[in-house]
Amino acid sequence: MNRSASNDCSASASLALAEQFRVIAEIGGDIAFSIDCASGQLRYVSPSIEQLVGYTAAEVAAGIGPGANGPLAALCLGLPERMRRLRAGDRSRLRLVREAEFYGAYGYPVPVEIISSLLCGEDGQPQALVGLVRDLSPRRLREAEQKRFASMLNHEFRTPLSTIDGAIQRLEATCVQADEPTRARYRKIALATDRLIGMLDDYLSPERMAGIGSERQPTSLAPRVLLEEGQDQLRAAGRVASIKSHELPASLRCEPEGLRLALKVLIDNAIAYSPPTSPVVLQGRLAASGIELAVRDHGPGVPQDEHLRVFDKFYRGRNADGMPGSGLGLYMARSIVEVHGGVLSLVTPAGGGAEFRIWLPVAGAAKHLARRAASPDNPAPAGTTAPVMALPPSGNT
């Protein structure tokens, strides 16, 4: 085969591969596009663009290019600056993800996410800007529904809580002849009511709901950072805290604020139910096909017959007598963990105390465990609902 024929075959193969990737993108519902870097002109856009904005591919192409201000001009917004940076050796803008609005043929804005990358030739110079356009309308609709639902919950919870709060204040003010046990019950009700109202303000307030969607929410968190934040919480409460961790992944796909809340509940429990001078240990390790985060205290522990019931809504164990609380913390923490596909469990470690364990699935964790599964140093402790790995002796901080 001569060189010309070989080049033709190579070009044909490249075109076939490009066509395959375009079809894959469009099957997923995304709109693929390609813009020539030299001319700034649109080379290709999926025909489904017309369904999104009401303009044909030809009309879109006419509105893109140097000096053009068409309805989809945002596709190549900032392209000259990106190419200038790339030629100067700055590859930070080689791939970008941003949100924008297209103004369709019917006069209304269409929110979209634009994912674009610069493709370079053999000489290292940018040749084409290629990418995908995703309609954000369904996501925005879900966010609006979530806000409305949260607002409804806030109202439905706050109304009876306000009634209870007002009633208990009147009782405390008027029942001057009440004995001390009765007054203690009033204070307990008032504290529980304040705590629930505070939770509404923290997680279901209109201000918080308004913030959702106003900026891109994080979808991952470093497990080590989560443990360090827990350590800071313990030290702020005047407790001795340490971290034991080994082979934690750099990032965990999750809803960060939810997991922070779940871990905070477990740490609050450790603070409340263990001696002020006793240490609390935070642990992180690979476990089965995921990771395990644990909070270990050195208090009296939880009676064996209450291990399953402590996660029930409004349940308060025998050790909670006289302690403030609503019986919702562990229930809420378990709900958050289960939403992430994980398991929240309780064990009684050797030496007493209580250890709450959050197991979360992590892609790729199984291959790390395969190297350690046969080790005699890694037995699976009894009494857990998910397989776990024992901590190695090192890793204290």
Q: For residue 204, what pLDDT is reported?
A: 66
* pLDDT for res 395: 36
Q: What is the DSSP string of 341-387?
A: T-EEEEE--TTSS-EEEEEEE-TTHHHHHHTTTT-TT----TT-SS-
Query: Which DSSP helix (H) or strand (E) runs through 119?
Result: strand 109-120
Q: What percent of the chain has pLDDT over 70?
A: 74
Supply the pLDDT for residue 358: 92
Find all residues with CB under 8 Å of 74, minimum gap 6, and list them.
100, 101, 102, 114
Return the DSSP state at 27: H
21 burial via Cβ count (<10 Å: 0-12, 13-18, 19+): exposed
Task: Summarize the confidence of residues 332-349 as an average pLDDT.
Answer: 85
Angle value at C-alpha 278, between 275 and 280, nearest 5 degrees: 110
Residue 72 has pLDDT above 80, yes or no: no
pLDDT for the residue numbered 374: 39
Question: In the CATH hierarchy, which fold is given to the domain comprising 220-370?
Answer: Heat Shock Protein 90 (3.30.565)
- Binned at pLDDT 50, 70 and 90, residue 2 comes out as low
- Mean local confidence (pLDDT), 86-99: 86
CB 180 within 8 A of CB 188: no
pLDDT digits (tens, 9 = 90+) for 342-378: 888 988 888 888 899 999 887 544 444 444 443 333 3
Flag whether pLDDT at 141 surpasses 90. no
Q: Which of 9-23, 78-92, 233-247, 312-326 is predicted with the least confidence, judged by mean pLDDT?
A: 9-23
Contact call for residues 360 and 254 (beta carbons, < 8 A): yes
Mean pLDDT across 320-327? 60
Q: Which of 19-33, 212-226, 232-246 has the highest mean pLDDT?
A: 232-246
- pLDDT average, residue stretch 184-191: 84
Mean pLDDT for the stretch of residues 218-224: 80
Q: Which residue pairs, CB below 8 angstroms and at least 24 apart, start in 161-169? A: 161/193, 161/196, 161/197, 161/200, 162/197, 164/189, 164/193, 165/190, 165/193, 165/194, 165/197, 168/193
Handedness of CA 162, 163, 167, 170 (dihedral sign): positive
Domain extents in the chain: 3-135, 140-211, 220-370
Average pLDDT in the 90-115 region?
A: 84
Among the residue ranges 64-73, 122-131, 259-268, 355-364, the one predicted with the least confidence is 64-73
> What confidence tier does 11 reach under pLDDT thresholds 50, 70, 90?
very low
What is the arithmetic mean of pLDDT over 304-330? Answer: 70
> Which residue did the predictor score with more confidence, 265 or 159?
265
Check: pTM over 0.85? Answer yes or no: no
Question: Average of pLDDT values for 225-242?
Answer: 91
Q: Is the pLDDT of residue 7 over 50?
A: no
Sign of CA pseudo-dihedral 366, 368, 371, 374 = negative
pLDDT higher than 80, residue 105:
no
Answer yes or no: is pLDDT of 71 > 70. no
Sort strands 241-246 and 280-287 into parallel, antiparallel or unpaired.
parallel
Pairing mode of beta strands 95-103, 241-246? unpaired
Q: How many CB atoms lie within 10 A of CB 118?
A: 23
Across the range 263-286, mean pLDDT stands at 90
Determine the pLDDT at residue 231. 92
| Across 219-242, average pLDDT | 89
CATH pick for 3-135 out of 2.40.160.210, 1.10.10.10, 3.30.450.20, 1.10.275.10: 3.30.450.20
Mean pLDDT score of the chain: 75
The pLDDT of residue 283 is: 92
Dump pLDDT digits (tens) for 18-51. 566 666 666 667 888 888 888 888 888 888 888 8
> CA-CA distance, 357 to 279, in Å (whole number)?
17
Note the pLDDT of residue 16.
61
Q: Are the C-beta atoms of residues 64 and 76 closer than 8 Å to each other?
A: yes
At residue 265, the 3 state secondary structure works out as helix
DSSP conformation letters of 175-221: -TT--HHHHHHHHHHHHHHHHHHHHHHHHS-HHHHHHBTTBPPP-EE
Tell me how far apart the alpha carbons of residues 311 and 332 are, in angstroms, rounded to a whole number. 8
User: Do β-strands 126-135 and 220-221 pair in parallel, antiparallel, or remain unpaired?
Assistant: unpaired
